[in-house]
């Protein structure tokens, strides 16, 4: 899509923008008329993301930053506003994980995953609020997961961090409502996606890790995040597995425990042995421009009926009400005609 003549909608900041979902978000926001501030650790991916945004006719600024450093995140926000203008949207997307049984996890691994995946979203939100609250406008997106509600085996640090984000989100939203603030906050809950993380994260699994269950392309989530930025929704669920996991855990968590005990170990591994010495991005980025997609293109879908229904629920409701009105009118007309006879 040529966006060179499109009116600018605003400025978005995306954390974890160098690869995976963050990279897909950078493209999607640029396609929809936003100038993009890119935050991540990997310089090669940041350069690639900036080039793609510029190719779409939008402005882009990147800052190489670790979101676990609160001051660095805030300094990056200052730089982006100096070069692009006021930040209208902030997308907290950066994450990290370790695939490992809990009994083999190390304390510093829990600390690191929590600092990036949970505190990184907190620090990003604080930087956004610092700028948005005085203006009484703006949109903050917290990127969640079905795992924010339903923990699974082998990803305890990541699941714990996503659960923490959910609690932080509830607190933040209620405080903004109390203050009658016009700053919006939405949490987008995602399913398994075909992103680069499965080749990046630290793992102790014997085989290569993979997304569990139905896999979605990152562009599906990116579209949902752009929609969330432009509409006042509390939460958005992407993908049926997300709905199934969240609702199922509320109804029968014990059943979820049993099913995941049976399927959660094999379900998160391919049949390809993993190299125990391969590089991971827990502490440092992996060099190179890795793009948005992982290695599961053949298995991934690019459409979510659940998100389509959520996005179009007002139109659908209007249509149903309109159809109901037509049916009632037809029935009334028939009744009066019958009475006339």
Rounded CA-CA distance 218/95 in Å is 14
Please count the other Cβ atoms lying within 10 Å of the Cβ belonging to residue 318: 11
Closest CA to 280 of 99, 104, 117: 99
Closest CA to 97 of 52, 158, 54, 144: 158
Known catalytic residue at 123 = no
H-assigned helices in 66-217:
70-84, 107-113, 120-135, 156-178, 197-200
- 3-state SS, 143-170, equals ECCHHHCCCCCCCHHHHHHHHHHHHHHH
Rounded CA-CA distance 118/113 in Å is 8
Q: Could you give the angle at which helices 253-263 and 240-251 cross, rounded to 10 degrees?
A: 120
Closest CA to 66 of 42, 88, 37: 42
The DSSP call for residue 109 is H
Helix (H) or strand (E) holding 203: strand 202-203
If DSSP codes are grouped into helix, strand and coil, which group holds residue 338? helix
Which residue in 62, 158, 216, 237 is the catalytic one?
158
Residue listed under structure tokens 């903050």: 140
- 305 phi and psi, to 5 degrees? -60, -35
Active site residues: 158
């Amino acid at each position: 899509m040529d966006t060179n003549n499109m009116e600018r909608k605003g400025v978005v900041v995306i954390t974890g923008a160098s690869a995976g979902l963050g990279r897909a978000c950078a493209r999607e926001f640029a396609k929809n008329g936003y100038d993009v501030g890119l935050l991540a650790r990997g310089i090669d991916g940041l350069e690639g993301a900036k080039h793609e945004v510029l190719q779409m006719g939008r402005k882009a600024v990147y800052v190489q930053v670790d979101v676990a450093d609160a001051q660095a995140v805030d300094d990056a926000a200052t730089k982006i506003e100096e070069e692009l203008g006021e930040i209208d949207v902030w997308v907290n997307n950066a994450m990290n994980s370790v695939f490992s049984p809990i009994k083999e996890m190390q304390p510093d691994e829990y600390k690191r995953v929590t600092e990036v995946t949970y505190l990184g979203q907190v620090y990003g939100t604080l930087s956004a609020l610092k700028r948005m609250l005085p203006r009484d406008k703006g949109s903050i997106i917290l990127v969640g997961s079905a795992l924010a509600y339903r923990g699974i085996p082998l990803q305890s640090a990541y699941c714990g961090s996503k659960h923490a984000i959910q609690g932080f989100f509830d607190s933040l939203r209620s405080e903004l409502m109390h203050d009658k603030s016009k700053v919006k906050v939405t949490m987008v809950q995602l399913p398994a996606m075909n992103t680069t993380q499965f080749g990046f994260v630290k793992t102790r699994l014997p085989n290569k890790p993979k997304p569990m269950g139905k896999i979605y392309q990152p562009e599906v989530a990116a579209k949902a995040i752009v929609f969330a930025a432009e509409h006042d929704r509390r939460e958005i669920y992407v993908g049926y597995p997300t709905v199934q996991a969240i609702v199922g855990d509320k109804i029968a968590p014990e059943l979820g425990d049993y099913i995941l005990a049976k399927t959660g170990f094999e379900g998160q591994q391919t049949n390809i042995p993993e190299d125990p010495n391969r590089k991971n991005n827990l502490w440092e980025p992996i060099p190179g421009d890795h793009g948005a997609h992982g290695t599961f293109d053949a298995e991934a879908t690019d459409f979510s009926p659940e998100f389509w229904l959520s996005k179009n629920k007002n139109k659908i409701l209007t249509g149903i009400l309109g159809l109901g009105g037509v049916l009632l009118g037809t029935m009334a007309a028939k009744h009066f005609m019958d009475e006339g006879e």
